[in-house]
Amino acid sequence: MSDLAELQNRLGYCFRDENLLRLALTHPSVAHETSTPTPHNQRLEFLGDSVLGLILSYALYENFPAADEGVLSKSRAKLANATALAGHGRALDLGAHLVLSRGEENTGGRERASALTDAFEALLGAIFLDGGLDAAREFIVREFAGDFGALTESSGIENPKGELQELLQSKSPNAPEYQFISACGPDHGPEFECAVRHDGAELARGRGKSKKAAESDAALAALEKLREGKNI
């Protein structure tokens, strides 16, 4: 077992009950190598997943007051997907502290993304049990501060044209229309400008390195204006 004091220093959190931290780091593979039931981190992972969802939801709700529930949900999913959580586990070097079976150790379990994701969520569950919601919130907000800084209210929008059409057609049967406005710049790298219109009115304009990108940018601008309640 690696030095847990070193890990806690890196976490910025000192456990009152260090056994919770050990449990969070215990991979379920160890249960297959013993003849008696062996506790592992899957129950803590279940709890930590819910704690993370609650705290991220509240932070997004507070930080992005103009975003609707769809954008908030997609932003939360972006912050808490398996790839992102494995990255947090890797940055904390949780792999070096995992308790693994011999088989898991020999097949690269310390670097396995699923093991790091589960260990990170189990760690959140352990902090919650050890220090309560305030301790978990403090750790999560600190751990995700850089990710929040990179988000905008439109971060969760992967298909602006589709979402704009869905939003507008909930109020009108007519679909938005896109109009090419201009192209400027050198032949090898022109910039296009397009407008999006609906029911005869221009909603917004956008720019991009292709007409498709300009249309997408225009749709995104229109969505942002609509969600801010602006008259467009």
DSSP track, 169-190 = HTT-SPPPEEEEEEEES-TTS-
> Tokens 């908030």 map to which residue?
72
Structural contact between residues 145 and 208, judged by C-beta atoms closer than 8 angstroms: no
The rounded distance, in Å, linking the Cα atoms of 36 and 120 is 26
Q: What is the dihedral of CA 140, 95, 91, 46, to 10 degrees?
A: -20
Active site residues: 49, 121
Residue identified by tokens 């932003």 is 75
Distances (CA, A) of 33 to 96, 107, 177, 194: 20, 15, 63, 63
